[in-house]
Structure 1
Amino acid sequence: MERQESVYNLIPKNEVKVEKPPRYVSKFNERVKQEKQMNKSSHKTMGPPKAVIPSPEKFLRKYSKGPKPTDKMSTFKEENIKRLAISTRCDNTWMRTQSKKDYVKSNVMDNILSPPRKPQPSYAFTKNGDKQLLENSGLVPKYVNKKDYGQIPEYLEQRNVEERRAQEEYDEYVKERLRQGAMKQLSDEERLSTLQGLKKNLEEMHYQFQCLSIVIDTIPKRNYKERLELQMKQLERDIDLFERHKTIYIANN
């Protein structure tokens, strides 16, 4: 942006004249004017001024624009018609096409000898006797008759195999660690004896907790009570752990 007051503004500037390009002129200008004068100026009214009027004697005649059809009825004569002879009542030619089979008797015998139609099993679901098919009610044991009824699905068998494989790998890993001497497995006797000792300690702690005074008005009594509660909770966790898991390992270090 130029400032309002500047020394450079005092220098006179030369005016630059912009020269415009010459105007575009179509080379078909004269031809278009001539065609307009030839084709449109004469049709400014309803049609050209000198129209060719047809003569009233030259009217459209029948079959003038197409071929004339041939007259077939003129060549047709009655004596050329060959009429068929009507058969009399005494004539027995119509009996030749009649079959010797008695369809009425055959249909009667077929219906007599046919087995009776078994009714479809249905059930009534209203007191007025409205019925529905028993098959669509869900009372028919369809799935019991399947071949794979009562069998374990394939995905469950596959999952059982994977769980069995994972358990075997875990057992092998534990055995390998045991061979290395990293852990020691408790026997059943040791586990039961440890469990009995934990229960005995819990009974003693419980007896000490019951022997507390009803009114705990000093800080040492309150601390002693809290310590007994923590020890009892820890013993309950250990007892639950020993009862739920039959295989227990202890680290040597």
Structure 2
Amino acid sequence: MSGESVYNVIQEVPAASVKGARFQSSRAPAPTASTFGLHGTSVVLGNVAGEPATASVHPQKKSTGSFGRTVLSDVSTADFLKKSGSQQITSPVLATTKHEKLKAPIPKKEEKPVMGLKTDKNFVVANAVENILSIPKKQSAQQPRAVDRADYGAVPEYISKIKTELKTQYSLVDSYKQRKAQDEERYSLLDSAEVQQLRYSLQRRWEVLNKEFQTMGFSVETYSQKRHQDDVEKELRAVEAALQKINKPVIYIYDDTR
């Protein structure tokens, strides 16, 4: 087959590349801006601008900045501070031993409570007797008494103000009721026969005015004819309005002379 050769069976070993020397820049190292290991120092950031040397007098990395202080072999766990070891007991109540107890223990589940206890003591009477027989407290001379105050027993200012406002409101309500009662006295019920008579008279007057208005011509020649036509039309509208008002089951009239 074309392309086959015994020389292709043997693989060629690639030549090892020769690595040159590492490049070293003549300038300052690249900035890193790291805060690792700077806790507790005045240095905020280290190597921000690529300084060739430490800018501060403090070291940028402490000896305990990575994993804490070095634990030596002389450190013993028995010397560690115990619980509440730094507290100083000054109160006599707290200075109790382990066996002393401040209050009675909680009863166990096997202990049964005492049942059926009764008393004949009247606590209301006992409380009254105790307060009656008790000695009153002495009033010190420095403490002022309530009865010695200048405003003792005087009516507060806000109560007088409220009474004045209530009195004004009551007077307004009374005056309104009086005016309403006076207005109601001036109204009187119109008799049904009188209503029928008024209705009949108004209807007859409307018929007369309507007939007179219909007989007038459309063309008005003189000023007197025009004025007479306007007067008839106004009176006709007034009669129609009176008929609408009087067509009610109950009619009250107002007497303005009272």
Fold shared per TM-score above 0.5: no
Structure that is richer in helix per residue: 1
TM-score by length of structure 2 reads 0.30
TM-score by length of structure 1 reads 0.30
